[in-house]
Structures are given as structure tokens and as C-alpha cells.
Amino acid sequence: MTLVLVEAAKNIKSAVGRYNTMITIYEKVDSILPDETVILKAGRILQEGGLVAFPTETVYGLGANGLDACACKKIYEAKGRPSDNPLILHISNIEQLNSIVNEITDSAKKVIEAFWPGPLTLVLPKAACVPYAATGGLETVAVRFPENVVACAIIQASGLPIAAPSANSSGKPSPTRASHVVFDLNEKIDMIVDGGPASVGIESTILDVTGDVPVLLRPGAITEEMLVSVLGSIEIDTAVNQRPDNKLIPKAPGMKYTHYSPKAEVILVYGEQEHVIKKINKLIAIALEKGRKVGVMASNQTKDCYFKAEVLVLGDKDKPEEIGANLFKILRKLDYIGLEVVYSEVFEETGEGAAIMNRLRKASGFHEIQA
């Protein structure tokens, strides 16, 4: 009798397991001329309330119908994302913007003209049709018109504004390759469209254009300097480069969460290049004495200066766009190879360098030392 019950329980468990595990369709497309049947399939899944991960020029997004609260809730479940962290609605033409916001302010018009389509997200007052499930209960909505051909084709095929956070499990580095999405979300979403590596590699700049003075909420490839050149002046939200703090309420709710935390302890080393190299080599020796698996995040210029540690090359230190494109791939690699402690060089904070240092600080949990 007991045996019969055990067998019955096993059968129920495996049936439930089968039911919970979803089959994820994986399709690879050309990044310039994507296969139309794949695009139409992705569009149909989105119309039916499903989840589709797709490439954008910044990072891969996890898309759902941005006007359907149930579809948006599925995004939070698949990612394990806190429900007060709002989503960005992605559009593929300017007319769509009119239907999801209440007002397009003068500063919004200026930056749209200069930088859309592209890696810039704008926060504007939301229209009634946008559900609070997409905005985390806020009266504003974040909107982006991406440049990536595959992203635009999928949004166009769906005929909808597409809510899409980065397509990673909550807390992991944003995915810049379809393989990263497979690793985090396979069997949790309906479809993954692989359109090759994301060219920018860092999430979009977020600018709040609801008030008189635009406020930068998250730095990205549309840099502070570029925004100032079009808008005259902007403010930087105080939460941008501060350690997450319960007392501090950032205007972009997502900025309060610890992001991009590899399992390895990451430590940023500031100072003159030769001092940094010397200091890191000393720290490597100490870590090895303690039996720890140690790594270094370095540039092309310095990669051969470190000894007895795993060296991960971020790129040419004078080409922030190269460092940006490689950063999240390398942060993921730290865990794949099981490093325990990683020392990182730091980069010039002008232009896109500001976004790179913002993400590196978050990855390190603001663990910084001076050489």
C-alpha cells in the first residue's frame, strides 16, 4: 500500500513538474535582415500575452504586451523582479508615443529629435491605458524607441508598446548575448530571438523629462555631455552613484536594488596606472597565500602586467564603447570560472565612461580602494 502511494506521489510530482516547465522556442535571426516568419511568430506570441526575449542595441529585453497587466506580471514572475520596479515600454514609431503618454514636454521633444531611435529612455506622464502593473504604481511611464532592427521589427509585428526590462534573472548582470538569456530564463519564457551580441552592451540612459529641469536617472551611452549639448543643463539624481540606502529614495526605483552582483568579491582599485598594477599584484599574492581563486579585470594596455591571476580583458582603456560592449559578458564570466576575489582597474569617467563606472561600482557593491 505504502509503495503504491509513493509511486502515485512520484507520478503527480512529475506531472506537475512537466506542467511548470515551459518549452522555450529559440530562433536565430540575421541582425540586419531578420527572417519574417520568426518576427511574425514573436509578434503573435506578444499579442497573445506571452513573453519574448529579443535583442536591442543596449542589452537583451524580456518583452510582453505593455498594455496588458497580466502579461506584465508574467515578466516579474519570470525574472523574480520586485513588483515596485517599473518597466520600460518600447515603441517602434513616434505615433505610438502619443498613445501611451499624457504630455510630450519641450525637453522631451528636443532629445527625441536628437537621439531617437537609440539608447535613451524618457520618463513622461503616463496615459490612462498604461497599467500600473507596468509602471510599478507610478503616474509616469518610461519609454524607449530602440534602434536595433530586430527589436523594431518585433515591436512593429506585435502592433503594441512592448514592456521590456533587461532579460536577466533579477540581480544578475544584464544579458548582452542570447546565450545569457538562455542561461537565466530558459523554460521560463515563450521565446528567445537571437540577433547576435548587443552592440552597446550597457542599459539605456534614463532621463526624467516630466519637470522643468530634466533629471538623469541612469547613465548610459547617450552621455551627460550629449544631453547637455541639446538641453543646456540637466540635473543628476543623487542616487546615481551612491550605495543603495534604505533612506534614499531614487527616482528610478530600480536603482535602489543591488545589481550585477557576481558571487566573486569585486574590488575597484583607484590610482596612477603603475601604482594600481603594483598594488593589484601585491593583493594577488596575498589572496593566493590564503588559497583564494583570484582574477583581475584589466585593459588591453595592462593585461600582461599581472602575474599568477586569471586576467579578464575588458578592452582598450581609451575606447569606452569597447569596454561597455564587453563589461557584462566579463562580469558573468567571473562566476562561470568560479573566481572568489577579483581586482578591477577603473576607467576615465567622461562620456560613456560614467556609465561604465556606475555599473562597475554596483558590481563591486561600492568596494573601492586607493593604490
140 binds, among ligand TXA, Mg ion, none (CB under 5 to 8 A by kind): ligand TXA
What are the grid coordinates assigned to 283, written together?
593583493
Dist. CA 60–CA 173, nearest whole Å = 11
- Would you give the DSSP letter of residue 253? G
Residue of 139, 294, 106, 310 whose CA lies nearest to 214: 106
Alpha carbons within 13 A on the beta-carbon side of 215: 14
Binding range to Mg ion, per CB under 5 A, among 14-22, 78-86, 159-167, 220-228:
159-167
- Among positions 260-289, residues that touch ligand TXA (CB under 6 A) are none
297 binds, among ligand TXA, Mg ion, none (CB under 5 to 8 A by kind): none
Q: Is 203 in the site for ligand TXA (CB under 6 A)?
A: yes
Q: Is 141 in the site for ligand TXA (CB under 6 A)?
A: yes
Q: Is 164 in the site for ligand TXA (CB under 6 A)?
A: yes
Nearer to ligand TXA, 88 or 269 (CB): 88
Q: Which residue is nearest to Mg ion (CB)?
A: 166
Ramachandran angles phi, psi of 180, nearest 5°? -65, -40
Q: Is 59 in the site for ligand TXA (CB under 6 A)?
A: yes
Q: Which of 24, 65, 92, 121 binds ligand TXA (CB under 6 A)?
A: 121
Nearer to ligand TXA, 250 or 315 (CB): 250
Ramachandran angles phi, psi of 202, nearest 5°? -125, 140
What are the grid coordinates assigned to 111, written together?
532629445
CA dist 295 → 170, 306, 346, 353 (Å) = 25, 9, 15, 22
Residues 345, 351, 356, CA angle at the centre, nearest 5°?
40
Q: Which of 92, 148, 166, 364 binds Mg ion (CB under 5 A)?
A: 166
Q: Is 85 in the site for ligand TXA (CB under 6 A)?
A: yes
Q: Which of 101, 217, 294, 331 binds ligand TXA (CB under 6 A)?
A: 217
Task: Give min distance, CB of 76 to ligand TXA, in A.
Answer: 10
> What SS3 state is found at 369?
strand
138 binds, among ligand TXA, Mg ion, none (CB under 5 to 8 A by kind): ligand TXA
- Among positions 228-257, residues that touch ligand TXA (CB under 6 A) are 251-255
If one counts every other C-beta atom within 10 angstroms of the C-beta of residue 303, the result is: 14
Size of the site for ligand TXA (CB under 6 A): 28
155 binds, among Mg ion, ligand TXA, none (CB under 5 to 8 A by kind): none
Q: By the 8 A CB rule, do 190 and 25 touch?
A: yes
Dist. CA 40–CA 33, nearest whole Å = 14
Nearer to Mg ion, 11 or 258 (CB): 258
Contacts of 251 (CB under 8 A, 6+ apart): 123, 208, 215, 217, 237, 239
Q: Is 88 in the site for ligand TXA (CB under 6 A)?
A: yes
Which residues contact ligand TXA (rule: CB under 6 A)? 56, 58-59, 61, 85-88, 121, 123, 135, 138, 140-142, 144, 164-166, 203-204, 206, 217, 251-255
Sites of contact with Mg ion (CB under 5 A): 166
